[in-house]
Amino acid sequence: MLGGTEFVGRAVVEAALARGWDVTVLHRGRHEPPSGARSLLGDRTAPDGLAALAATSDEWDAVVDTWSAAPRVVRDAARLLAGRVSRHVYVSSCSVYAWPPKAGYDEDTPLVDGASPDAEGADYARDKRGGELAVLDAFGTGRSLLVRSGLILGPYENIGRLPWWLNRIAAGGPVLAPGPRELPLRYIDVRDLAEWTLGAVEADLDGAYNLAGPPGHSTMGELLDACVRVTGARSELRWTEPEVVLAAGIEPWTQLPAWVPPGSDYQAALYSADVSRAVRAGLRCRPVQETVADTWSWLRSRGGVPPLRTDRPAVGLDPAVEAKVLGI
């Protein structure tokens, strides 16, 4: 596992250890890896960041990489491991599809022009596609698995989307809930992503797979209702029309995490991917209540403070803006 101490990487490592697999983690040493994993230290962005990995003579059945910035970082590790690893799993993103993707897009939908595998970084979508290209260049199509995930939620989340909603609702009082309640919400619990990925490794799968909750898995109302239940807060969800939210200058997705206006290109891009290929390959998604409850339990164990990444925009709505929209 390249990384393996935070969010997606950590979930993959924990799931692999639970299966009795031998796991090696290459990480920067900022966080302790899960107990039972072998630890190698190295900063992949540094000139000698792969030295500890290069110094071993070990071989592995699979390597998993979640890198989302400069494709060069993916390229360097993939080239080093190509002769010592049977299969490369790259956790990519549905953002790699050309904008705007049509509703119901599948794995054959046209893609963005990826950044060069040698690049130092462009934007998120082009970097993720560049990472895919770097893996394909080193491992070929028959040994590469591209996991194109949608919105990822669950314990260890370091972006802050579900943690922000949980903390906001736990604070009580009137809560700006962006409507409509029945707005479809398609996400993947990080642990379901991990389990599916490891199952795909066992099955020797290759190629690209969209990974998100199937149609009808959840709604914005079900997510926020679950937040109210698990926190036990005295909160009042005040469902507000999308037009009112947008007219107030509130930014979807970032200021109101996970929410995008119905009927927009963003809704099609984020919540309409065809995941039937992954479902046929064993994808199973746990109920929204379980994802929310387990995330709340983890968040409380940290005193309510998630370990936020510094390279991603802050999420959440200013209380003053919320109060103004709600007229309180």
User: Given a cut of 90, is residue 301 above it in pLDDT?
Assistant: yes
The Cα–Cα gap between 273 and 296 comes to 27
Question: In this structure, what CATH number is given to the domain that contains residue 178?
Answer: 3.90.25
Of 186, 178, 236, residue with least CA distance to 212: 186
Per-residue pLDDT, 234 = 94
Region of poorest pLDDT, from 10-24, 97-111, 113-127, 173-187: 113-127
> 207: pLDDT confidence band, cut at 50, 70 and 90?
very high
* Residue 102: inside a domain: yes
> 310: pLDDT confidence band, cut at 50, 70 and 90?
confident
> 15: pLDDT confidence band, cut at 50, 70 and 90?
very high
* Residue 94: inside a domain: yes
* Residue 311: inside a domain: yes
Which sign does the torsion angle of CA 158, 290, 288, 96 carry?
positive
Average confidence (pLDDT) over 247-259: 97
Between the alpha carbon of residue 324 and those of residues 132, 181, 259, 264, the distances in Å are 44, 21, 19, 25
- What type of residue sits at position 75? R
**Residue 128 sits in the same domain as residue 171:** no
User: Given a cut of 90, is residue 88 above it in pLDDT?
Assistant: yes
Per-residue pLDDT, 156 = 97
Per-residue pLDDT, 256 = 98
**Residue 196 sits in the same domain as residue 267:** no
**Residue 251 sits in the same domain as residue 194:** no
> 311: pLDDT confidence band, cut at 50, 70 and 90?
confident
Per-residue pLDDT, 122 = 86
Element containing residue 162 per DSSP (H, E)? helix 161-170
pLDDT in tens, 138-189: 999 999 999 999 999 999 999 999 999 999 999 999 999 999 999 999 999 9
The Cα–Cα gap between 189 and 85 comes to 27
**Residue 179 sits in the same domain as residue 193:** no
Of 263, 227, 241, 252, residue with least CA distance to 325: 241
> 316: pLDDT confidence band, cut at 50, 70 and 90?
very high
**Residue 75 sits in the same domain as residue 203:** yes
**Residue 78 sits in the same domain as residue 121:** yes
* Residue 1: inside a domain: no
Per-residue pLDDT, 232 = 97
pTM over cut 0.95 = yes
> 103: pLDDT confidence band, cut at 50, 70 and 90?
very high
The Cα–Cα gap between 173 and 160 comes to 21
**Residue 162 sits in the same domain as residue 123:** no
CB 95 within 8 A of CB 124: yes
CB 259 within 8 A of CB 253: yes
For the chain, how many structural domains are there in total? Answer: 2
Per-residue pLDDT, 263 = 92
Element containing residue 63 per DSSP (H, E)? strand 60-65
* Residue 279: inside a domain: no
Per-residue pLDDT, 266 = 92
**Residue 162 sits in the same domain as residue 72:** no
**Residue 198 sits in the same domain as residue 96:** yes
Question: In this structure, what CATH number is given to the domain that contains residue 22?
Answer: 3.40.50.720
Dihedral of CA atoms 283, 284, 288, 293 in degrees, nearest 10, equals -110
Domain of 165, in residue numbers: 155-185+215-273+287-326
Of 12, 213, 199, 7, residue with least CA distance to 94: 213
* Residue 19: inside a domain: yes
**Residue 73 sits in the same domain as residue 166:** no
Per-residue pLDDT, 142 = 97
Those residues whose C-beta lies under 8 Å from the C-beta of residue 11, and which sit 6 or more positions away, are 154, 155, 156, 190, 191, 193, 194
Per-residue pLDDT, 119 = 85
